[in-house]
Amino acid sequence: MALNRRLAMYIILIAGTLTIAGLAVLLWMDNSLLIDNLSRYRVDLYITDVQFDNDYLNITVRNISWNPTTVTLVIINQTSTLHTISVHEPISANEIISFRLGFKWTSGYRYQITLERAR
């Protein structure tokens, strides 16, 4: 009878250890998948400065991610008019770049500028 009790205790101990180890692996895998999925949606490009020059916009952008990317599209929203400008501006990880776009702007108007990056 003592042998059966001891065997049952070992089985419970082994089952508990395997359960905890399995949960630890699942949590580790789930977090790595979650981090990978969230990194696709994370905003990693910030416009740090926009300067209006004669028929040009000078845009300064910072990449705060650990991966290089490319700015592929600049979207300029002027109240009801939407302007899209295709660009190809590579930017390394943690780098700040500036680029110049031809754009006829009007003083006194408000502009919203959005960037799209390569996937």
Residues 97 and 108 in one domain: yes
What is the percent of the chain where pLDDT is above 70?
78
Whole-number pLDDT of residue 77: 87
Query: Rounded mean pLDDT of 37-55?
Result: 77
Residues 2 and 50 in one domain: no
Q: Write down the pLDDT at residue 3.
A: 66
Which CATH number is 85's domain given?
A: 2.60.40
- In terms of domains, do 68 and 34 share one? no
Q: Of 9, 26, 42, at which residue does a domain stop?
A: 42
* 8 plus 54 within the same structural domain: no
What mean pLDDT comes out for the span 76-101? 88
Q: How far apart, in whole angstroms, are the C-alpha atoms of residue 84 and residue 98?
A: 18
* Judgement on whether residues 18 and 65 belong to the same structural domain of the protein: no
2 pLDDT band, cuts 50/70/90, is low
Q: Are residues 5 and 25 in the same domain?
A: yes
Question: Average pLDDT, stretch 30-37?
Answer: 50
Mark whether 59 and 108 lie in a shared domain. yes
Residues facing residue 73 across a β-bridge: 86, 116
**Distance between CA atoms of 105 and 99, rounded to whole angstroms?**
16
- The answer to whether residues 52 and 27 belong to one domain is no
The sheet with strand 81-91 has its strands ordered as 81-91, 69-78, 112-117
Beta strand extents in the chain (DSSP E only): 45-53, 56-63, 69-78, 81-91, 96-102, 112-117
Mean pLDDT, all residues of the chain: 81
Domain limits at 96? 43-117
User: Please, are residues 102 and 71 in contact by the beta-carbon 8 Å criterion?
Assistant: no
Q: What is the pLDDT of residue 117?
A: 87
Same domain, 37 and 52: no
Under DSSP, is residue 79 helix (H, G, I), strand (E, B) or coil?
A: coil
Does one domain contain both 36 and 74?
A: no
Of 16 and 36, the structure prediction assigns the larger pLDDT to: 16
**Does 36 share its domain with 60?**
no
**Domains held by the chain: number:** 2
